Amino acid sequence: MALLSVRELVTRFEFGPHSFNVVDGVSLEIEPGETIGIVGESGSGKSLTLRSIVHALPPKAAITSGSVVFKGQDFTRPGRRELRRLRGREISMIFQDPIAALNPVLTVGDQLKETLKQTKGVRNENARARAATELLRIVGVPEPDRRMRSYGHELSGGLAQRVVIALALVGEPTLLLADEPTSALDVTVQAQILSLLVDLQHRFQMAVLFVSHDLGVVAQTCRRVYVMYAGRIVEEAPIRDLFASPRHPYTVGLLSSMPSLDPSAAIQRLRAIPGSPPDLAALPTGCRFRSRCPISVDECAQDDVLLAHVKPGHSAACLRHEAVADGAVVYGASDSRVHLGSS
């Protein structure tokens, strides 16, 4: 049985006559101890999918249909008591901006101790302090005793991210939702945080649902990946299959936009996907990607194109997935250049 099963989830923003779905029929599964990735451009619905799972949505957003089943229990519309038990204890979330995720008027130690009190029921002050310090040590914070007295604004991005991870681990969750946990960090610190997350996953036997716009990051950490576009999953595959043989033109575009590390080319032009994602309040008919797709045909505009199996373990929402597999999708180069190697 899957640890988490999301089925046909729809999350809708209500702005009077301009209401629209930001998560539109998303289905995904994650097994115990598994690491799954969700990738896509900004605005594709990745973060709101995670927020829908833990019911941490903005005031104007709400789940309107579908289901969220965790450990065999339906948490689509949990009561307040169920939600308190779920958050922090069973499922924890790492938010995008670590500095913003920390309370600016409380020290790191105060936040960890309060979380220990609420989540684990640790009442003794000294016991909470010892447990909080140990958590900082586990996530690699140097001088954890001193950092217990620090405020969020006094930390570097990397240290703040480690503290946020420590807060997420307080309840020893079985599922960790990681929303762009490395996006604001430099490459060196990013590698350290990714390595830390992998180590912690094995230590705490967690499943991890990892959201990123960076396919390189997902390739380092995930076994399977879901590709999102305009609120929907447009491709799902094991990470190796996705890189070796993508079946959706949007996935090809994401892969093409990554700079190559081929040392034989000193200067390369990045290949960009033309156009912009559609307005969710005024979606086109048929395939949502067709206006940006270099191989779209008339049939792509006629009917809604839904996710379908294209080979074992691999699904795509594309009428021309066979042509995509044959290499028919080619994007032009942008004006941006990447310098590789020495000059």
The average pLDDT across 113-135 equals: 92
pLDDT digit string (tens) for 168-198?
Answer: 999 899 999 999 988 767 888 888 888 999 9
Q: List, in order of start, the domains of the chain with CATH numbers.
A: 4-222 (3.40.50.300), 246-339 (no CATH)
Distance CA 160, CA 150 (A): 10
Classified as helix, coil or strand, 23 is: strand
Report whether pLDDT(33) > 60. Answer: yes
Q: What pLDDT score does 334 carry? A: 57
Percent of the chain with pLDDT over 90: 69
Burial of residue 15 (number of CB atoms within 10 Å: 0-12, 13-18, 19+): exposed
* Terminal CA-CA length for the chain: 54
Average pLDDT over residues 132-139: 94
State the pLDDT at residue 17.
Answer: 76
Q: What is the pLDDT at residue 67?
A: 96
Quote the CA–CA distance of 149 and 109 in Å, as a whole number: 6
* Residue 215 exposed, middle or buried by CB count within 10 Å (0-12, 13-18, 19+): buried
Half-sphere exposure of 270 (CA within 13 A, CB side): 15
What's the pTM value of the predicted model, to 2 decimals?
Answer: 0.90
| Confidence (pLDDT) at 130 | 95
C-alpha 78/C-alpha 115 separation (Å) is 21
Give the model's pLDDT for residue 277.
93
Could you give the dihedral angle defined by the CA atoms of residues 83, 84, 86 and 89, in that order, rounded to the nearest 10 degrees? 170
pLDDT at 272: 84
What pLDDT is recorded for position 89? Answer: 86
